[in-house]
Homo-oligomer: A and B are copies of this chain.
Amino acid sequence: MKLATLRTTRPDGQLVVVSADLTRCVSAGRIAPSLQSALDDWETAAPALGELARQLDAGEITGQPFEPRSVAAPLPRAFQWIDGSAYMSHLERVRALKGSLDEGLQSVRPLLYQGASDSLSSATAPITVPGDDLALDFEAEVGVIIGPVPMGAAYWQAAEAIRLVTILNDVSLRRLVADDLQHGFGFFHSKPSTSFAPVVVTPESLGKAWSGNRLHLPLRVEVNGALYGQPNAGVGMHFDFADLIVEAARTRNLAAGTIIGGGTVSNPHDQTLPIRADGIGFGCIAEARTAEKAKFGRSRTPFLKPGDKVRIRAMDGAGKSTFGDIEQVVALASN
């Protein structure tokens, strides 16, 4: 089952069921007005949404054309957005850059931070930044949306709470990261609005692409049309999503609708940019720059500037975009 949220005048938008091939959709308003309300009542809503999806895919309902440009983020505003850092090769590459102090612990307990969840961006919203000198970066990630998880949850409880899977762009202002980390109070200014793929998918509907609480698909990243990376999200994910949830629930309950990110997808290799069509490359610019610095003594790949285009998608075995594409242009804030 695939779900999306159409933009409306209401801040939570309108929940729709999307066909497996992402061409058509149908309102789920009779079942739940919004994705959050479906998550609040998942035991009742999920079977009804699943039946609607079956009818749509079987052609019993025509629905309407699904237009990725008409959607909001699946949860346009969420009660919680927690991002982890599960790929060790990402942490290894960016550690020096970030000034983080986490080396000893990072492979024993996953790092997590509390992200801003009050206004999450749609897949095609511009990335709006307050200045062009902030070292703007993208981070291609996998995320899950969960049901309620009690404090001190066991691994199996965490795994069972995973309701939906998607991909996201954890937009980062690298110039502000070191300052934020120096304060020790988290990525407050350096992580503006996070962007999400048009569609969320239940783990069951992902088939073999979902196993071991990991997504086993490459995330293909292009910048201005050039291939930047296609690391496989199932490779090198040291902590799986259930591990991340267990860690997040150590001292508190997690409410339904909490989004958990796995951190920048990153596979170990010694490539630099540009990569070939069969290369792995990178899920963020910071990794490319540190790889270049190690190899050539200096970074040469620039950060994003106004007008640049980023595209991120998860590719299935047939070359289809599983969650729809994140396709964003960088824009300067007008005020």
Contact = CB atoms under 8 A, between A and B. Distances in A.
Interface residues of A, number: 54
Contact of A78 (B79, B190, B252): B79
Contacts of A80: 116-118
A150 B256 CA distance: 28
Contacts of A82: 188
Most chain B beta-carbon contacts within 10 A, residue among A100, A113, A193: A113
A107 to B, nearest CB: 13
Contacts of A40: 11
Contacts of A320: none
A129 interface: yes
A90 to B, nearest CB: 14
23 contacts: A78-B79, A79-B119, A80-B118, A82-B188, A100-B184, A101-B184, A102-B182, A102-B184, A113-B114, A113-B188, A114-B114, A114-B186, A114-B188, A119-B253, A129-B251, A130-B151, A150-B335, A152-B333, A184-B186, A185-B187, A188-B248, A189-B250, A190-B251
Interface of A: 11, 40, 77-80, 82, 99-102, 105, 111-119, 128-130, 134, 150-152, 173, 176, 181-190, 192-193, 248, 250-258, 333, 335
